[in-house]
Amino acid sequence: MIIYMAQATKYTVRMVAGLSSPYFPFLLPVLLTIILLDRNKISFSHNGLSKLFFIMTAWTGCIIYKESLYESNQLSYYFFLFYAIIIAFIHVRVFGEKLFPLYERIMVRLCVISLILWAIAVLVPSSASFFRGFTPTPYGNNVFFIFTWMDPRYGQVENGIIRNAGFSWEPGRFAIMVLLAIYCNFLRNGIKFKRNRSVIILLLAMLSTQSTTGYVGTLCLYALWGLKKFNMSYLIGTLIVLTPIAYQVSQLKFMREKIEKQLDLDTEIKKIDRKIDYSNEVHRTNEYIASMGRFQAIFFETQNIKEDPILGYGRSTENSYFYTHISSNYVLTGGILKIVGQYGIPIAFFLYFMLFQSSRRIGKEFNVNSTVLFIIYLISCVSYDIFLVPIFTAIWFYGLFRKDISVDDAKPKAITTKSDEETDSEEEIEEVNKDEDILHS
């Protein structure tokens, strides 16, 4: 499920989009999921899944009729809608509350690898020739799917230091994966640094991304974590502590420059020039595609919503008002308004309500703030569409898929990760290792 999120190469992209060659990347997770189901019998006769399928099937039928989408490449977008939901359902039903420590544990290991390779790239500039020998990506080169080196020629450099993209295609995307892992660590440990190596590794990885989205999300996570209900004294204390920190972070040179660049449309247009060399999977009908900046994307996405506020333009951006009337050379980034633009206001409201319910459910199971997950998801969606990335989808519908299980029965036992220096009982360690073996299978 982690590789689903990375999508740094044409192989990993095929896991979540496009029923075309190469086929192996799509078939691999399907095969592994079948093995997972064989080892863990679950029932698909579930009210929550049936309800979700009914709503999304009805919407899909309306969109197909409205847009006359009868070609296979158009229909594939809707195949992956149900594909992501099914994968998410399977993982929630198999792993339950153990999904969170398992995700964290794998992310910590991948962050260690990325920090080592990123440090080599930063401290040994001559290593550029080595990294350029691997699979090209829009901004650099992917090293065996575990690390993507950011090529300085393509602009992913701040203050002379290249950004760490981990195993994703760019640093911001990696940052929101790390943000979710930090949240998972908080579910186990709360705000704790002593004897908690995992969170130190995750925070170092977050720092190395130089991502505004990641930084804002992390600050909000720390600010809101202890607030179980509205408390004026806690709110005032948090503002006193975090306001100067947030101000200092915003005054960092690279942060100011990034915000200014986002507000500069000319800078966004120049991104096309930086991507011309990357011809694999970045063109449609001989037109090169670049991503619109988040602030410009918000504006244009509102135009899509105005065009059809009820049904939306569907899963394919080629049917959007922006693509057909403004430009086919750009893809609008961001996910908050994109969900409204794609699915229409009624379905978008339903989806965000499901996310809010999942946030509450997880809060009750782990006895933590019930709104934090909802907020950091929204922050992540400002820059990226994460809805149908299976690991994010699983947590998005966690409350719906666990509704038949009482909160008391779902409350997790003490679960820790090997990377921490805490003394766990042999039974607990064995339980976690057993769950991880299932995930790896």
| 228-248 per-position pLDDT tens digit | 654 556 556 655 655 665 556
Strongest mean pLDDT among 97-101, 133-137, 258-262: 97-101
Percent with pLDDT over 90 in the chain:
46
Distances, alpha carbon 417 to alpha carbons 103, 105, 108, 153, in Å = 10, 6, 10, 39
| Confidence at residue 218, expressed as pLDDT on a 0 to 100 scale | 94
CA 22 to the chain's CA centroid:
23
| Confidence at residue 263, expressed as pLDDT on a 0 to 100 scale | 47
Give the closest residue to 6 by CA, choosing from 230, 243, 169, 213.
169
Q: Comparing 6-20, 57-71, 121-135, 351-365, which segment has the lowest mean pLDDT?
A: 6-20
Is pLDDT of 323 > 90? Answer: no
| Confidence at residue 55, expressed as pLDDT on a 0 to 100 scale | 97
Considering only residues 249 and 387, tell me which one the structure prediction assigns the higher pLDDT. 387
Number of residues written out for the chain: 441
Residue 428 pLDDT level (bands cut at 50, 70, 90): very low
Q: Comparing 9-18, 105-114, 168-177, which segment has the lowest mean pLDDT?
A: 9-18
User: Can you point out the beta strands (E) in 24-160?
Assistant: 135-136, 140-143, 147-150, 157-158
Q: What are phi and psi of 361, to 5 degrees?
A: -60, -50
| Confidence at residue 127, expressed as pLDDT on a 0 to 100 scale | 95
3-state secondary structure of 63: helix
Q: Comparing 38-42, 249-253, 261-265, 428-432, which segment has the lowest mean pLDDT?
A: 428-432
3-state secondary structure of 404: coil
What single letter denotes the amino acid at residue 174? F
| Confidence at residue 26, expressed as pLDDT on a 0 to 100 scale | 76
| Confidence at residue 359, expressed as pLDDT on a 0 to 100 scale | 94
| 78-110 per-position pLDDT tens digit | 998 999 999 999 999 999 999 999 999 999 999
First to last CA, the chain: 12
Is pLDDT of 217 > 90? Answer: yes
| Confidence at residue 186, expressed as pLDDT on a 0 to 100 scale | 95
Mean pLDDT rounded to a whole number for the chain: 81
Stretch 7-20: mean pLDDT, rounded?
Answer: 66
Stretch 99-127: mean pLDDT, rounded?
Answer: 96
| 373-421 per-position pLDDT tens digit | 999 999 999 888 889 888 999 999 999 999 998 888 777 765 444 445 4
Answer positive or negative: Cα dihedral of 4, 346, 331, 355: negative
Eight-class DSSP state of 70: -
Is pLDDT of 254 > 60? Answer: no
Q: Is the pTM of this model over 0.85?
A: no
